[in-house]
Amino acid sequence: MERDKLESMRQRNRRLIDAVIEKAGRVCPGSLAMICVYGSFCTGDVTAHSDLDLLILIRDERGRALSSGFLIDGIGFDFYCTTWESLEAEAAYTSPHIAKLMDSEIVFCPEEADRTRLEALRQRVREICGASFAADDLTRAEQPLFSAERAFARLLCAANIRDSRAAACEMLCELESAVCLLNKSYFRCGVKRVFEELGRLPETPENFEPLARRLAAAASPEEMRETAHCLMRAVYGCFDRVRGRMAARRETPTPEDLRGTLEEVVSNWRGKLIEAAVHGDAHAALMALGSAQIFFDEAAGAFDMPRYDAVSCFDPADLRGTAERFDAILRQYAAQYARVGLVVSTFPDTDAFLDDYLRVPAKAFGTA
């Protein structure tokens, strides 16, 4: 951009900022805490169509009077106000779109306490992103991945190209966020730089950029579905690599971690599978196995133990065999009990259980 044009835009920006400050003094004195600049004028990505992105931080609702949407010489501006509560939520780092919080340049801040408070929020995010990757980080990254899966489902079911494109757009946005969060990073620039930013991260899906660009340019619902499927599989592969490294760091379960879990599995699902076999109810059998699979997956994700495959037991043409195969998995799970010195809590009859259940341990009376 020509130097004169850039300087003219900067002068425009200064006048707009001064106007916000002046109006705050007139209509909501004491409400305006801070003004920061973010976006293209902060990153240096200025074009002839760049507007002014302002973080207008207010202390109370009176400051909402500073909000405004308007056009100047064909360029759209959107001044909206932000509260401390909103910035606190951003500092929880549930989204990678936090450049406004992290990188904005303070241009007005009369109270040093507000400057300190903003820096504390930024430091909170830095500490989250700088810590070693943990289960909470994976859970955080999985949230936009789950949203992408829902958008993918809508894409598969879309009846026309308009609905297909809308679902594809949402899916892409969520996948970009998921990959960024998986790397404990955030987007510093706008959408036109997203692939540059993702490309610099250590954990990225194979062929992510070409697949994403192909999905955006797809000319038919069929092409969108095919490309979206490839893109989802690429992202799944990226997440699986990270999960695999985490699995190597899982801890061996303790007796207290496992105590009662096998009995819970038997209580929740074994009887349902037997009844499903008796009545020929494939739906009930599949639902029981699917629920059990969630349990086994969560256990394997949390501890150093096998990921038992309950769903593979299912055969709609042989539900008795399905129940028998599930029993075989229960026997394998019982080996985890033996591994930590537990025995299955089983009794021959109700009287035997009640004798044990109602027995009060000596330590309950304060004795050794």
Q: Flag whether 367 is in a domain.
A: no
The DSSP result for 46-107, as a single string, is --TT---EEEEEESSGGGGGG-EEEEETTEEEEE-EEEHHHHHHHHT--SS--HHHHHPEEE
Same domain, 125 and 140: no
* Average pLDDT of the segment spanning 53-70: 94
Same domain, 126 and 170: no
Same domain, 51 and 108: yes
Q: Flag whether 179 is in a domain.
A: yes
pLDDT band per the 50, 70, 90 thresholds, residue 15? very high
Are 22 and 65 contacting, i.e. CB atoms less than 8 angstroms apart? no
pLDDT band per the 50, 70, 90 thresholds, residue 269? very high
Same domain, 114 and 165: no
Question: Residue 303 above 80 pLDDT?
Answer: yes
pLDDT band per the 50, 70, 90 thresholds, residue 362? low
Total tally of structural domains belonging to the chain: 3
Helix (H) or strand (E) holding 32: strand 32-38
Note down the domain range covering 173: 135-247
SS3 sequence of 300-362:
HHHECCCCCCCHHHCCCCCHHHHHHHHHHHHHHHHHHHHHCCCCCCCCCCHHHHHHHHCCCCH
Same domain, 9 and 125: yes
Q: What does the pLDDT read at residue 309?
A: 96
User: How many residues does the structure list for the chain?
Assistant: 368
Question: Residue 237 above 50 pLDDT?
Answer: yes
- Cβ neighbors of 330 (< 8 A, separation 6 or more) are 262, 265, 266, 270
pLDDT band per the 50, 70, 90 thresholds, residue 152? very high
Q: Flag whether 366 is in a domain.
A: no
Q: How many other C-beta atoms can be found within 10 angstroms of the C-beta atom of residue 220? A: 10
pLDDT 10s digits, 319-342? 999 999 999 999 999 999 999 999
CATH number, position 22:
3.30.460.10
Same domain, 163 and 110: no
If phi > 0 it is left, if psi is from -120 to 50 it is alpha, else beta; for residue 133 that is beta
Same domain, 58 and 102: yes
Higher pLDDT, 361 or 164: 164
Same domain, 333 and 313: yes
Axis crossing angle, helix 208-217 with helix 161-182, rounded to the nearest 10: 160
Higher pLDDT, 305 or 174: 174
Tokens in use for 91? 């500092």
Residue 45 and residue 315: Cα distance in Å, rounded?
Answer: 58
Question: Residue 365 above 70 pLDDT?
Answer: no
Question: Residue 366 above 50 pLDDT?
Answer: no
Q: What does the pLDDT read at residue 132?
A: 93
Residue 142 and residue 356: Cα distance in Å, rounded?
Answer: 43
Helix (H) or strand (E) holding 113: helix 112-130
Same domain, 113 and 21: yes
Question: Residue 360 above 80 pLDDT?
Answer: no
Same domain, 188 and 287: no
Q: What does the pLDDT read at residue 213?
A: 97
Tokens in use for 245? 């490294």
Are 269 and 326 contacting, i.e. CB atoms less than 8 angstroms apart? yes
Same domain, 106 and 16: yes
Residue 292 and residue 333: Cα distance in Å, rounded?
Answer: 12
pLDDT 10s digits, 276-294? 999 999 999 999 999 999 9
Question: Residue 101 above 90 pLDDT?
Answer: yes
Q: What does the pLDDT read at residue 233?
A: 98
Same domain, 278 and 239: no
CA-derived radius of gyration, the chain: 29
pLDDT 10s digits, 72-92? 888 888 899 999 999 999 999
Name the phi and psi angles at 23, rounded to 5. Answer: -65, -35
Q: What does the pLDDT read at residue 368?
A: 40
Q: What does the pLDDT read at residue 335?
A: 93
Q: Which of 84, 99, 130 is the last residue of a domain?
A: 130
Question: Residue 120 above 80 pLDDT?
Answer: yes
Q: Flag whether 364 is in a domain.
A: no
Q: Flag whether 91 is in a domain.
A: yes
Q: Which of 98, 130, 162 is the last residue of a domain?
A: 130
Q: What does the pLDDT read at residue 23?
A: 96
Q: Which residue has the tokens 């194979």?
A: 206
Q: Flag whether 303 is in a domain.
A: yes
* Average pLDDT of the segment spanning 45-67: 91
Higher pLDDT, 78 or 317: 317
Name the phi and psi angles at 76, rounded to 5. Answer: -85, 140
Residue 86 and residue 107: Cα distance in Å, rounded?
Answer: 20
Question: Residue 367 above 50 pLDDT?
Answer: no
Q: Flag whether 365 is in a domain.
A: no
pLDDT 10s digits, 20-46? 999 999 999 999 999 999 988 888 888
